């Protein structure tokens, strides 16, 4: 497993991971919808969404028109992917501008049907500034079983993610589906959606996609390790505590710091 993103120690609790909504394109966020949609900040975020969408498709984390991406634009708006468009084929005009109630204010296409899921995460955790949902195969395989791989096996995974959550099944696109993640969004940046896929939040769209990559790689490595036929070697608890101390300094979420995580294995 390669290098994964971790905020620099210099960022500390004032780093991007703890950014407030207004720190993302504050000027655009205070503008009218049309002005915000046509701002340089919005153009840059659209370009990032398109690049990440293409990466998801190239990695085979999405198929057909599956998956969705969103990002905060100032305090009042979101940019999100449209429905019925492959993540490989998106163009800037396809990206929708929405308010925090899910009303589309600008864009040539209908918004993703799962924007309600994103809104629940944004409302439940103000640190969430960008969200990626997709159907990465190994992650989705665990979602099909209603389980996650055990923690304590790879240090990079522990630092960036740690325990993932599993939200109960509801029909995708509904408000009931969106609300399934609400109990988990403060202590988990990675949530499996039962019988559906994975959703990750971070400070940027790129970093949210990196979390998907990290979790997918971890699931794959865990399943391969089980085939070797030898017991898994877990990181000692004392060393996990050192990792958690780093996460506290960086302001990264981890359910083990609030006593909500399940058993290691």
In a domain, 224, yes or no: yes
- CATH classification of the domain holding 193: 3.40.225.10
Q: What is the pLDDT of residue 8?
A: 39
Percent of the chain with pLDDT over 70: 86
Flag whether 167 is in a domain. yes
Strand segments (E) across the chain: 68-73, 77-80, 96-99, 104-106, 130-134, 165-167, 190-193, 197-202
Confirm whether 14 is domain-assigned. no
DSSP 8-state class, residue 236: P
Q: What are 212-255's pLDDT values in tens digits?
A: 999 999 999 999 999 999 999 999 999 999 999 999 999 999 99
- Residue 5 falls inside a structural domain: no
Total domains in the chain come to 1
pLDDT on residue 111:
77
Per-residue pLDDT tens for 188-203?
A: 999 999 999 999 999 9
Q: What is the mean pLDDT of residues 16-38?
A: 62
Domain-embedded: residue 1: no
Residue 12 lies in a domain: no
Residue 145: which domain range? 20-251
pLDDT range class, residue 106, cuts 50, 70, 90: confident
Instruction: Please give the pLDDT value at position 30.
Output: 65
Confidence of residue 167 (pLDDT cuts 50, 70, 90): very high
Q: Is the pLDDT of residue 6 over 60?
A: no
Write down the mean pLDDT value for the chain.
89
Minimal CA–CA distance to 222: which of 168, 169, 167, 145?
A: 145
Contacts of 183 (CB under 8 A, 6+ apart): none
Dig out the tokens for 228 from the structure: 């070797």
Q: Higher pLDDT residue, 113 or 147?
A: 147
- pTM for the model stands at 0.88
pLDDT exceeds 80 at position 133: yes
Handedness of CA 258, 259, 262, 265 (dihedral sign): positive
Q: Say if 265 falls within a structural domain.
A: no
pLDDT tens digits for 82-91? 999 999 999 9
- pLDDT confidence of residue 203: 97
pLDDT above 50: residue 15:
no
What average pLDDT score do residues 146-172 get?
Answer: 97
Cross-strand partners of 198: 134, 192
Q: Would 2 be classed as within a structural domain?
A: no
């Amino acid at each position: 497993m390669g290098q994964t993103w971790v905020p620099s120690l210099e960022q500390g609790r004032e780093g991007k991971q703890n950014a407030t909504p207004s720190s993302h394109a504050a000027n655009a966020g205070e503008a009218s919808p049309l002005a915000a949609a046509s701002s340089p900040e919005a153009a840059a975020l659209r370009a990032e969404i398109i690049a990440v969408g293409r990466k998801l498709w190239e990695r085979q984390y999405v198929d057909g028109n599956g998956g969705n991406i969103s990002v905060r634009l100032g305090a009042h708006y979101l940019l999100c992917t449209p429905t019925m468009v492959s993540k490989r084929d998106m163009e800037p005009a396809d990206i929708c501008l929405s308010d925090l109630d899910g009303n589309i204010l600008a864009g040539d296409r209908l918004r993703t049907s799962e924007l309600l899921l994103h809104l629940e995460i944004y409302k439940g955790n103000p640190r969430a500034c960008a969200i990626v949902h997709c159907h990465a195969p190994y992650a989705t395989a665990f979602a099909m079983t209603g389980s996650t791989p055990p923690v304590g096996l790879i240090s990079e995974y522990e630092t960036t993610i740690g325990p993932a959550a599993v939200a109960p099944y509801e029909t995708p696109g509904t408000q009931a589906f969106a609300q399934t993640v609400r109990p988990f969004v403060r202590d988990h940046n990675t949530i499996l959606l039962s019988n559906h896929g994975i959703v990750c939040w971070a400070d940027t769209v790129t970093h949210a996609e990196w979390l998907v990559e990290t979790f997918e790689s971890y699931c794959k490595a865990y399943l391969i390790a089980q085939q070797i036929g030898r017991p898994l070697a877990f990181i000692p608890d004392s060393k996990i505590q050192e990792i958690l101390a780093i996460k506290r300094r960086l302001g990264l979420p981890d359910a083990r710091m609030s006593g909500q995580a399940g058993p290691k294995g």
